[in-house]
């Protein structure tokens, strides 16, 4: 065992999801000795990639917004980002296809997008501007306070910025659903459906989730959608390199079995039945499993489950031996009846015969991701969290319905074009990344209080134990995971200075 001066704090991070890596970087920059233990043989959690038959697939999240959250880590670490990571803004946020034959390009340029909504759906260009102006205002006043600070510390609530934020909270944001808000904002069913879709960004139901979620499009249309060179997995790779440069050590194939704590204070973890000691432990594992497995607190784990689980996803990775010029990086094929689709997901725990299909094609950005003349399709539909459904049967019927839908809307015969295939369902998700029931975002945001009921970024009963990642405050998705890392590192920093 090497000795080290007692004033250097030792930190153990459990799990190398994007929040875990970002937390490790921040704490290393604060001068701590950081070790990350990961049960898989690769970092990144859901943000990983794989190759099959000459096709490269990003396995998980496919949308990249708010790149400044990543730039911030490089600035903090005093490293030139260009040596590690490059990205570019993309001109079309998404292509939308409707069952009634209408299609629309959601241009990143607001004037173009407004003109397109006007031409295709008869929406007044002012409707979009007003909507995005409100979204921006809400994000800048409310979003930044709620997403960058703990909601579980008195100091957050006593700060004057919270009163400003509260003043900006429109009554409708709290008491209307996203769908009700969008119905007032737009006149065409197509535009309403387009903006309802943003509830799915955190696994929620637009017919239940609060109108507050209308601030999400601000990120896409006011700030922009980006593509990282090398695909989404490059975010993981760049941050791991940066962490290692700052002295963080990564240990793969090392599953943490238990968090050691006594008398209300954390003292390390158990791996392979060996005690590894540390002053601080940060869990980047699903909060349910953190309690159930690592803290062996059945009671606390059950408490987490009082909140409704978010939706999951069913993903088909298809190597397609043809190219489709009408498609771009992000594409959505809407279901004809959104309400029925969400009722099935959240109330019945099953899939509909006409699902909304999302297709991400990174070979549109980098040809090397697929063989010449071919495309790498990441085909995803929303799925319920796993409660023991027959996934073999659900997968088979979903595959049939997705192919029928694409045949209809792309006017082609898809089945023979699928050259290679991998499938990811909620059961496999839980197995690979320990996401309870395969819920992608932990809890849903289907209740008005959901944001306040998410688990805090620290343990209120065990000193020195913190949590980051998609299942705790402020929520799931890459930007929020990066925010959770920031909140945790600021807690630890202020504790150290106290």
User: Is 258 within 8 Å of 269 (Cβ atoms)?
Assistant: yes
In tens, the pLDDT along 299-327 reads 887 887 777 767 889 999 999 999 999 99
Count of C-beta atoms within a 10 Å radius of residue 61: 20
- C-beta atoms surrounding 348 within 10 Å: 11
Q: Do domains 10-45+230-306+454-497 and 125-219 have the same CATH topology?
A: no
Contacts of 244 (CB under 8 A, 6+ apart): 250
Q: Is the confidence at residue 494, as pLDDT, over 80?
A: yes
- List the chain domain ranges: 10-45+230-306+454-497, 125-219
**pLDDT the model gives residue 446:** 55
* pTM exceeding 0.95: no
Taking the domain 125-219, which CATH number applies? 1.10.405
CATH placement of domain 10-45+230-306+454-497: 3.50.50.60
Ramachandran bin of 135, using left for φ above 0, alpha for ψ from -120 to 50, beta for the remaining angles: alpha
pLDDT-wise least confident of 92-106, 122-136, 332-346, 472-486: 472-486
Summarize the confidence of residues 53-74 as an average pLDDT: 95
**Close Cβ partners of 160 (under 8 Å, ≥ 6 residues apart):** none
Q: How many CB atoms lie within 10 A of CB 380?
A: 20
Which structure tokens are listed for 353? 């015969």
Complete DSSP assignment for 145-160? HHHHS-TTSHHHHHSH
CB 11 within 8 A of CB 20: no
* pLDDT on residue 98: 98
Residue 46 in contact with residue 233, Cβ under 8 Å?
Answer: no
Q: How confident is the model at residue 204 (pLDDT cuts 50, 70, 90)?
A: confident
CB 234 within 8 A of CB 228: yes
> Could you tell me whether strands 55-58 and 87-89 are parallel, antiparallel, or unpaired per DSSP bridges?
unpaired
pLDDT at 498: 66
Span 261-305, pLDDT tens digits: 999 999 999 999 999 999 999 999 998 899 999 999 888 878 877
- Round to whole Å and give the CA distance between 78 and 51: 33
Contact 369, 376 (CB under 8 A): yes
Q: What is the mean pLDDT of the chain?
A: 90
Which of 58-67, 301-310, 409-418, 447-456 tops mean pLDDT?
Answer: 409-418
What is residue 477's three-state secondary structure? Answer: coil
Q: What is the pLDDT of residue 452?
A: 56
Predicted confidence band at 63 (pLDDT cuts at 50, 70, 90)?
very high
């Amino acid at each position: 065992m090497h000795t080290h001066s007692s004033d250097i704090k030792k930190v153990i991070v459990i799990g190398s999801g994007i929040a875990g890596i970002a937390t490790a970087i921040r704490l290393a920059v604060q001068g701590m000795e950081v070790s990350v233990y990961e049960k898989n043989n690769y970092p990144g959690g859901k943000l990983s990639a794989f190759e099959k038959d000459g096709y490269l697939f990003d396995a998980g999240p496919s949308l990249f917004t708010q790149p400044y959250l990543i730039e911030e880590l490089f600035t903090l670490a005093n490293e030139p980002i260009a040596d590690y990571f490059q990205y570019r803004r993309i001109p079309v946020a998404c292509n939308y296809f409707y069952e009634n034959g209408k299609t629309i390009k959601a241009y990143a340029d607001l004037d173009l997008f407004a003109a397109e909504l006007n031409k295709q759906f008869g929406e007044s260009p002012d409707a979009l501007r007003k909507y995005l102006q409100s979204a921006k205002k809400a994000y800048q006043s409310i979003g930044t306070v709620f997403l960058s600070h703990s909601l579980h510390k008195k100091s957050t609530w006593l700060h004057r910025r919270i009163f400003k934020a509260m003043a900006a909270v429109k009554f409708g944001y709290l008491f209307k659903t996203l769908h009700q808000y969008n119905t007032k904002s737009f006149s065409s069913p197509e535009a309403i459906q387009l903006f309802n879709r943003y509830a799915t960004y955190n696994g929620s139901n637009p017919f239940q989730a609060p109108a507050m979620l209308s601030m999400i499009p601000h990120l896409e249309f006011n700030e922009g959608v980006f593509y990282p060179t090398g695909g989404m997995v490059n975010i993981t790779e760049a941050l791991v390199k940066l962490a290692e440069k700052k002295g963080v050590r990564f240990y793969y194939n090392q599953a943490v079995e238990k968090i050691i704590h006594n008398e209300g204070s954390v003292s390390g973890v158990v791996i392979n039945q060996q005690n590894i000691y540390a002053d601080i432990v940060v869990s980047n594992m699903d909060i349910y499993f953190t309690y159930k497995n690592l803290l062996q607190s059945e009671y606390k784990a059950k408490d987490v489950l009082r909140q409704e689980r978010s939706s999951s996803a069913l993903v088909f990775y298809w190597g397609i031996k043809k190219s489709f010029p009408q498609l771009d990086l992000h594409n959505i094929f809407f279901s004809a009846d959104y309400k029925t689709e969400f009722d099935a997901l959240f109330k019945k725990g099953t899939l509909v015969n006409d699902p909304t299909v999302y297709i991400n094609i990174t070979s549109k950005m980098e040809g090397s991701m697929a063989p010449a003349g071919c495309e790498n399709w990441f085909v995803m539909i929303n799925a319920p969290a796993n409660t023991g459904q027959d996934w073999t049967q659900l997968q088979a019927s979903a595959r049939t319905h997705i192919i029928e839908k694409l045949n209809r809307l792309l006017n082609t015969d898809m089945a023979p074009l699928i050259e290679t295939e991998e499938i990811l369902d909620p059961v496999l998700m839980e197995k690979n990344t320990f996401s309870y029931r395969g819920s992608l975002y932990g809890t849903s945001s289907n209740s008005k209080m959901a944001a306040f009921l998410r688990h805090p970024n620290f343990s209120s009963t065990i000193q020195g134990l913190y949590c980051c990642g998609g299942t705790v405050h402020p929520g799931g998705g890459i930007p929020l995971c990066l925010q959770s890392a920031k909140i945790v590192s600021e807690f630890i920093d202020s504790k150290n200075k106290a």
